[in-house]
Amino acid sequence: MATEPVVEFAPAKINLTLHVTGRRADGYHLLDSLVVFAGVGDRVTLRRSETLELSIVGTQAAALAARDDNLVVQAARLMGGGVAITLDKVLPVSSGIGGGSADAAATLRAIARLTGQALPDADGVLQLGADVPACLAGRPVRMTGVGDRLHPLPALPDAWLVLVNPGVSVSTPEVFRALEARANPAMPDPLPDFPTFAALVGFLRSQRNDLGRPALQLAPMIGEVLAGLAAMPGCELARMSGSGATCFGLFATASAAAEAARRLRQARPGWWIAEAPVQK
């Protein structure tokens, strides 16, 4: 058990690829995704409490209510409650970078540290959402099935991300409903090694995010974000993450990513923009 308070980082989840490979009879979609985590995210701080409490602070706090359907509350209930939680919300909500799932996973880890409890079983974690198992792992993985199957990745080279959200929320169910093809090719198996940044970029360019087109139809501003990222010097790949609307640019150096973020903030002061390394 840890001393109070317990603080856990909830990094942004980035889908470098996202292939929709089928649909089960129960309506859940089958995915094949290369998932990494960025060095930017939310934080949860926990203390013991007689009742389950959640307060939300931070730059994105106004967009999220501390209600019973909040994934942080659901995760705490899964672990038995009895904690007061402060969520420092930095990531935009409903933005395709797994903010809610990352917050839920961080809450599970924090309660386990605080109380000495074991983490829930795989089925319990998956009940919180398809992205929560990957967020609980917190390391680069290939995610298949409905998000329940996690496969280790070859070692990744150093890489940096610039994340951009134009302030548009996109409904994941609506994006999936707008998807025209639901049985698309998976990534190759096994995946190749990625000994260099160039090798990683070369592979990613040959892959897809199948939700990109339907998300763009629902939120055309995504096209402006992708164009803005692609125009930045040093941006080797610009793609949407998850179901959007957050997009990422992939850079070989921290300085190139920082300069791109600076230029984008100057050009689009109303957008949410963050630069961060890919965590290994």
**Which sequence positions are flagged as catalytic?**
13, 131
DSSP bridge partners of 9: 43
What CA dihedral angle connects 40, 209, 243 and 265, to 10 degrees?
50
Examine residue 92 and say whether the peptide bond preceding it is cis (omega within 30 degrees of 0): no
Q: For residue 234, how many other CB atoms are within 10 A of its CB?
A: 16
Q: For residue 252, how many other CB atoms are within 10 A of its CB?
A: 19
Using CB atoms within 10 A of its CB, is residue 201 exposed (0-12), middle (13-18) or buried (19+)?
Answer: middle
CA 105 centroid distance within chain: 11
Q: Are 167 and 59 in contact (CB under 8 A)?
A: no
Q: For residue 143, how many other CB atoms are within 10 A of its CB?
A: 24
